[in-house]
């Protein structure tokens, strides 16, 4: 009796299906983890490392060997010279040893450096530890013999081997919290965060409100609607670098058309430096953000608007609702879902935006947002560790947003 | 608002507003087109707008209104009074401005106030008129803000530095120079290697599309159709991935590429670009696959096709429109991509178009070159977009895409 009933657990068919699914997903999973998950972990790792742009190359020993003194005949004195240096200006190399084949036809003339020993045909030296930027020249006095000229070779024909243990800052176990300290130090971080929030909140809201207006304009069909819809999407479709430079030229303080127009219309009597003055630059980059991304909100809202059944409006008309009332009590509640989803998505993406501000102002004039700060710290100040620390802060903020976001997403299906 | 609901008040108010809007529009448009001094005047707009509004509420048709107003504005502009003031503009410019003012005010305004009468108005009539006026303003406003930057971009690329400095508003072009107009474009192509950059951008974008589809189609199918443990978690985490900002990833990628010698190589770029687009493509495609009727596929399975054959022979042919919009969208992302190209490419022989434009941004290179470069980057993507606009809008809305 007990085995009657629906089968439980996973049957062979379900297992095959799951195996196929994972098979199909594996390439994507691999690629994404290689380029997203791994770098993310790397950012966390780097953020606690004292690493600057110059440390990215592991320190190496560099050696040049030559024979000084221009010996012309057998019996001439000369100096065998090794010029050695540490390629890194900051990191040390420990336990450096030098090994070289002793050139045939040269014999030692005088005292050998105490750190070196000469066996039959090999010269080996124990050079100890090198500080960052260490340089040394090793001179060995020699006398040439006839065999040297017979061989007709140069001293650097045999490669010199120099070995040492370099500790590479990205892989050693040296950790620091200095990066985070420098990020949070001073008032700068909070002003950057404030600018980021201003840019994100007003950029998102502005783009949504503009998108809402634009979609109301195009919500009824008329001749040329398709053309207008295409036109209104231009800012979003064009390469950001092209439109950013167009804006910079348009608002140039010396030869920009916008200034010329404003002066001519008597709005201002002296040129305004739109992207160079403190509060104005932030407003301008926010306006750029609104201008560039209203098409996206517009598309989503329009798609939703066109799916609202018209009989609701007819009923409202019959009941004597005025157009504003219809908008306020009918359209807006219907659009609330898409608006809230859009707000959350756009909020996060605006928060992540880098190119726009980087191209418009480079983060100057009070427009430095967190993402631009990553670049500034890592490449302008060339402190990669501090850049990564800012990136970790960004990631923390995003994590907080996404928790919030997923709570809403579960309510709002369809997006 | 109640006090405004009388035809003899609403009409003039809307008349003044619309006259001023048109005055600003015409002044800006004429300034940009001719470089001559036009400026709108609020006081004159009030003086001209009140009688216009009143008269149109009282009676008249759009045609008559436009005709009469054209006459009025020709006189006003020649006398140098009226909502649009001008200094020393040529007669032709004045007449053109008058034509625009007359038709632009008379015709739409009559349509806006058509249902109004002189006396008390119902709320419905009043709001309808207001909304129509606002919509008229909206069309002008949105078109202007979208068109002006692109107009400036194109016109600047056709001029030279001296002309631009002399009068930044003068965008009129001298057609007598013939092909000389496109001097900056020719110089970009011959001296700045923009032909190569275009080709590089093009094949990088195409490769990105192909690789993205190769990864995203099986992945999207698995997420949409197959049942496996963790499916729900998976479809959510796709979204999470495009929450990660590019600049955060760019930093370790830069370090890794520097150490592996992949910086400054097209291979490195082609490896990175698809990964940034796979999550978006996967999300868009799985939405579409879910919408396909599963019965067709089940019929295929019953008839002895394997799953992979079902994908190849049934699902993919059915989802061609979705594939087109995903491809278009991915192409657009790859073509417009700036950050990674900027960080990873230093060698001018390997630049993509966006990286090439960034290299033009220096004080030694004249601005028309910068703008010509921008036009070169913008035109292909616009052309592609306008030609396939239906796919694009559908694709963009289908998968809640990243920007």
Confidence of residue A2 (pLDDT cuts 50, 70, 90): low
pLDDT over 70 (residue A287): yes
Instruction: Kindly tell me the sign of the dihedral angle through the C-alpha atoms of A362, A357, B203, B278.
Output: positive
pLDDT over 80 (residue B89): no
**What CATH number has the domain spanning B186-398?**
1.10.3720.10
pLDDT tens sequence across B211-243: 999 999 999 999 888 888 888 788 777 777 777
For tokens 């105490």, the residue is A114
Of the partner residues B214, B228, B252, the one whose CB lies closest to the CB of residue A17: B228
pLDDT over 80 (residue B247): yes
Q: Are residues A118 and A240 in the same domain?
A: no
For A190, A374, B259, B338, the CA distances from A382, given in Å and listed in that order, are 21, 10, 16, 21
pLDDT reported for residue A338? 84
Of the partner residues B146, B218, B253, the one whose CB lies closest to the CB of residue A235: B146
- pTM score, whole prediction: 0.85
Q: Which of A257-266, A350-359, B280-289, B391-400 has the highest mean pLDDT?
A: A350-359
B:186-225 residues touching chain A, CB 8 A cutoff: 214-216, 218-219, 221-223
**Chain A within 8 Å of B87 (Cβ-Cβ)?**
no
ipTM value: 0.91
Tell which phi-psi region holds residue B35, choosing left (phi > 0), alpha (psi between -120 and 50) or beta: left
Q: Are residues A80 and A153 in the same domain?
A: yes
Q: Which of A362-376, B56-70, B134-148 has the highest mean pLDDT?
A: B134-148
Instruction: State how far residue B149 is from chain A, nearest Cα, in angstroms.
Output: 6
Q: Are residues A125 and A194 in the same domain?
A: no
Q: Mean pLDDT across the stretch A319-338?
A: 88
pLDDT reported for residue B384? 86
Task: Work out the widest C-alpha separation in chain A, in whole angstroms.
Answer: 119
Q: Are residues A64 and A212 in the same domain?
A: no
A-chain residues near B361 (CB < 8 A): 245
Cβ of B138 and A217 within 8 Å? Answer: yes
Quote the percentage of chain A above a pLDDT of 70: 94
Number of domains in chain A: 2
A contact test, residue of B115, B126, B132, B142 with most A CBs within 10 A: B142
pLDDT over 90 (residue A208): yes
Instruction: State how far residue A300 is from chain B, nearest Cα, in angstroms.
Output: 6
Q: Are residues A248 and A392 in the same domain?
A: yes
**Chain A within 8 Å of B2 (Cβ-Cβ)?**
no
The verdict on residue A20 lying in a domain is: no
Q: Are residues A214 and A279 in the same domain?
A: yes
pLDDT tens sequence across B292-324: 888 888 899 899 888 889 989 888 988 888 888
The verdict on residue A154 lying in a domain is: yes
Where do the CATH 1.10.3720.10 domains begin and end in chain B?
Answer: 186-398
Q: Mean pLDDT across the stretch A390-413?
A: 77
pLDDT reported for residue A414? 45
pLDDT reported for residue B402? 42
pLDDT tens sequence across A110-164: 777 888 888 777 888 888 887 777 888 888 888 888 777 777 767 767 777 777 7
Cβ of B255 and A391 within 8 Å? Answer: no
pLDDT reported for residue B216? 92
B:57-76 residues touching chain A, CB 8 A cutoff: none
Q: Which of A166, A188, A218 is the last residue of a domain?
A: A166
pLDDT tens sequence across A84-118: 888 777 777 787 888 888 877 778 877 778 888 88
Whether residue B254 contacts residue B303, with contact meaning beta carbons closer than 8 Å, is answered with: no
pLDDT reported for residue B403? 41
**Chain A within 8 Å of B234 (Cβ-Cβ)?**
yes
Q: Mean pLDDT across the stretch B332-356?
A: 91
Confidence of residue A277 (pLDDT cuts 50, 70, 90): confident
pLDDT tens sequence across A231-246: 898 999 899 999 999 9
Q: Mean pLDDT across the stretch B75-91?
A: 82
Whether residue A237 contacts residue B333, with contact meaning beta carbons closer than 8 Å, is answered with: no
3-state secondary structure of A332: helix
Quote the mean pLDDT of chain A.
84
Q: Are residues A399 and A351 in the same domain?
A: yes
Question: Which residue range is the domain that position A232 belongs to?
Answer: 178-411
Q: Are residues A212 and A311 in the same domain?
A: yes
The verdict on residue A145 lying in a domain is: yes
Q: Are residues A182 and A156 in the same domain?
A: no
B:332-361 residues touching chain A, CB 8 A cutoff: 332, 335-336, 338-339, 353-354, 357-358, 361
Of the partner residues B40, B131, B252, the one whose CB lies closest to the CB of residue A265: B40
pLDDT greater at residue A136 or residue A357? A357
Q: Reduce the secondary structure of chain B to three states and give it as a string.
A: CHHHCEHHHHHHHHHHHHHHHHHHHHHHHHHHHHCCCEEECHHHHHHHHHHHHHHHHHCCCHHHHHHHHHHHHHHHHHHCCCCEEECCCCHHHHHHHHHHHHHHHHHHHHHHCCCCCCCECCHHHHHHHHHHHHHHHHHHHHHHHHHHHHHHHHHHHCCCHHHHHHCCCCCCCCHHHHHHHHHHHHHHHHHCCHHHHHHHHHHHHHHHHHHHHHHHHHHHHHHHHCCCCCHHHHHHHHHHHCCCCHHHHHHHHHHHHHHHCCCCCHHHHHHHHHHHHHHHHHHHHHHHHHHCCHHHHHHHHHCCCCHHHHHHHHHHHHCHHHHHHHHHHHHHHHHHCCHHHHHHCCCHHHCCHHHHHHHHCCCCCCHHHHHHHHHHHHHHHHHHHHHCHHHHHHHHHHCCCCC
Q: Are residues A148 and A232 in the same domain?
A: no
Q: Are residues A158 and A196 in the same domain?
A: no
pLDDT over 90 (residue A195): yes
Confidence of residue B392 (pLDDT cuts 50, 70, 90): low
Q: DSSP code of A55?
A: G
pLDDT reported for residue A408? 65
pLDDT tens sequence across B120-177: 888 888 888 899 999 999 999 999 999 999 998 998 888 877 777 777 777 777 777 7
For tokens 């014999």, the residue is A107
């Amino acid at each position: 009796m007990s085995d009657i009933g629906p089968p439980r657990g996973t049957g062979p068919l379900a297992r095959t299906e799951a195996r196929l699914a994972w098979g199909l997903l594996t390439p994507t999973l691999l690629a994404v983890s290689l380029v997203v998950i791994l770098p993310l972990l790397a950012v966390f790792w780097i953020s606690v490392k004292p690493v600057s742009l110059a440390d990215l190359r592991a320190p190496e020993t560099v050696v040049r060997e030559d024979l000084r003194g221009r010996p012309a005949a057998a019996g001439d004195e000369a100096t065998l010279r090794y010029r050695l240096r540490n390629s890194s200006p900051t990191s040390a190399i420990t336990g450096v040893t030098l090994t070289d084949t002793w050139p045939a036809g040269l014999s030692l003339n005088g005292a050998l450096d105490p750190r070196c020993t000469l066996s039959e045909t090999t010269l080996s030296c124990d050079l100890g530890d090198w500080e960052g930027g260490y340089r040394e020249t090793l001179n060995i006095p020699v006398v040439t013999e006839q065999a040297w000229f017979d061989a007709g070779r140069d001293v650097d024909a045999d490669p010199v081997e120099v070995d040492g243990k370099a500790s590479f800052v990205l892989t050693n176990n040296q950790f620091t919290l200095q990066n985070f300290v420098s990020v949070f130090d001073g008032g700068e971080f909070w002003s950057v965060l404030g600018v980021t929030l201003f840019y994100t909140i007003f950029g998102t809201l502005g783009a949504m409100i503009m998108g809402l207006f634009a979609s109301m304009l195009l919500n009824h069909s008329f001749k040329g609607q398709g053309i207008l819809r295409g036109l209104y999407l231009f800012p979003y479709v064009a390469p950001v670098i092209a439109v950013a430079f167009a804006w910079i030229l348009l608002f140039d303080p010396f030869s920009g058309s916008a200034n010329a127009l404003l002066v001519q219309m008597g709005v201002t009597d002296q040129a305004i430096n739109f992207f160079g003055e403190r509060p104005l630059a932030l407003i301008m980059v926010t306006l750029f953000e609104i201008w560039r991304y209203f098409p996206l909100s517009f598309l989503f809202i329009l798609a939703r608007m066109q799916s609202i059944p018209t009989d609701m409006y007819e009923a409202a008309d019959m009941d004597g609702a005025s157009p504003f009332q219809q908008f306020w009590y009918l359209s807006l509640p219907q659009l609330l879902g898409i608006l809230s989803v859009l707000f959350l998505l756009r909020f996060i993406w605006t928060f992540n935006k880098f190119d726009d501000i980087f191209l418009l102002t480079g983060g100057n004039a009070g427009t430095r947002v967190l993402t631009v700060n990553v670049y500034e710290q890592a490449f302008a100040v060339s402190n990669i560790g501090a850049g990564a620390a800012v990136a970790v802060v960004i990631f923390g903020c995003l994590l907080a947003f996404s928790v919030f976001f997923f709570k809403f997403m579960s309510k709002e299906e369809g997006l | 608002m109640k006090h405004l609901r009388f035809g003899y008040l609403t009409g003039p108010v809307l008349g003044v507003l619309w006259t001023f809007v048109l005055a600003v529009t015409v002044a800006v448009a004429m300034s940009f087109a001719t470089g001559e001094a036009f400026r709108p005047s609020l006081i004159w707009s009030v003086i001209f707008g009140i009688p216009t509004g009143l008269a149109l509420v009282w009676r008249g048709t759009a045609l008559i209104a436009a005709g009469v107003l054209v006459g009025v504005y020709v006189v006003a502009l020649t006398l140098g009074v009226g909502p649009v003031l001008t200094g020393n503009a040529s007669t032709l410019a004045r007449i053109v401005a008058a034509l625009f003012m007359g038709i632009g005010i008379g015709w739409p305004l009559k349509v806006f106030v058509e249902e109004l009468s002189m006396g008390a108005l119902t709320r419905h009539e009043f709001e309808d008129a207001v909304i129509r006026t606002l919509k008229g303003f909206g069309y002008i406003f949105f078109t202007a803000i979208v068109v002006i930057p692109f107009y400036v971009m194109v016109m600047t690329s056709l001029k030279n530095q001296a002309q631009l400095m002399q009068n930044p508003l003068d965008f009129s072009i001298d057609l007598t120079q013939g092909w000389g107009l496109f001097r900056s474009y020719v110089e970009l192509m011959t001296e700045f290697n923009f032909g190569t950059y275009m080709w590089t951008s093009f094949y990088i974008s195409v490769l990105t599309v192909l690789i993205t589809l190769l990864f995203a189609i099986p992945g999207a199918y698995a997420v949409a159709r197959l049942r496996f443990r963790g499916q729900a978690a998976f479809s959510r985490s796709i979204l999470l991935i495009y929450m990660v900002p590019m600049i955060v990833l760019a930093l370790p990628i830069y370090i890794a590429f520097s150490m592996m010698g992949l910086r400054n190589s097209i291979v490195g770029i082609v490896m990175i670009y698809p990964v940034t687009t796979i999550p978006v493509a996967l999300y868009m495609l799985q939405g579409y696959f879910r919408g396909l009727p599963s019965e067709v596929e089940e019929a295929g399975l019953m008839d002895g096709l394997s799953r992979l054959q079902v994908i190849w022979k049934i699902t993919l042919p059915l989802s061609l429109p979705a594939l087109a919009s995903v491809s278009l969208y991915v192409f657009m992302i790859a073509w417009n991509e700036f950050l990674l190209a900027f960080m990873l490419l230093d060698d001018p022989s390997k630049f993509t178009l966006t990286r090439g434009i960034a290299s033009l941004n220096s004080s030694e290179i004249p601005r028309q070159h910068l703008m010509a470069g921008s036009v070169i980057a913008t035109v292909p993507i616009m052309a592609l977009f306008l030609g396939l606009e239906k796919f694009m809008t559908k694709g963009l809305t289908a998968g809640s895409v990243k920007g």
